[in-house]
Amino acid sequence: MGRKNKLAHFSENLTFGNYFHYTFEELTKNGVPLKGKWNSDFFKNDNPIVLELGCGKGEYTVGLARSRKQTNHIGVDLKGARIWRGLKTSQEENLTNVAFIRSYIELIENFFAPEEVSEIWITFPDPQPQNAKAKKRLTSPQFLQRYRSFLKKDGIVHLKTDSDLLYEYTLEVINAQQLPLYYHSNDLYANNDELEVKSIRTFYEQKWLNEGLSIKYIRFGLYND
């Protein structure tokens, strides 16, 4: 995407009523007005809230919103030009159960209050292959602790990845913290299990499948009591 298109998308993002972006100063000084109020003040309902972290173009955010009309969906990513696609699609399809936040995921706990989120999807994140960057993996103990600040006690976390390293690493973290593991597969499409996670394929996921790569999936909880 050329710089001109990116700038145009950044500008158009500001016109969408379901787009949220705050500077670091705004976050630290004033906080997020919708924190603890996403249901009452934005979605105007009591439906469960589902996050997609590192949402890219929002393919899962929008895809789940289409099939789950009684659930609210929020995609989070730093790349505004990518988020634009999800914003545009949600507007074109008049999806009222979709929002997007442009932010570093490291700041995610600033946006949600305790027990405000029911489900988290982490779809094809950067596996951060260098050991020195393990803390930046979105399933590291550091990130899981951030999620606990707003995920419900019975909330679910989904990880979908093409990375063997991230898949094995996440299973190790789950085991070390004795977290509930509900499902996992190192070759999701090789089995006949009927799973919602199979119903949406991102552009790159399909590309990797066409190249013969296997897709891994883990579904787990964050509380061991």
Q: How many CB atoms lie within 10 A of CB 50?
A: 24
Contact 57/82 with Cβ under 8 angstroms? yes
Residue 126 annotated to the active site: yes
Which phi-psi region, left, alpha or beta, contains residue 51 (left: φ > 0; alpha: ψ -120 to 50)?
beta
Q: Are 174 and 218 in contact (CB under 8 A)?
A: yes
Alpha carbon dihedral 65, 141, 31, 90, in 10-degree steps, equals -10
CA–CA dist 27, 149 (Å, integer):
16
Pick the catalytic residue from 41, 126, 154, 193.
Answer: 126
User: What element of type H or E holds 117?
Assistant: strand 117-123
Q: Which amino acid does the sequence have at 33?
A: P
> 121, exposed or middle or buried, with CB in 10 Å at 0-12, 13-18, 19+?
buried
Residues with a known catalytic role: 126
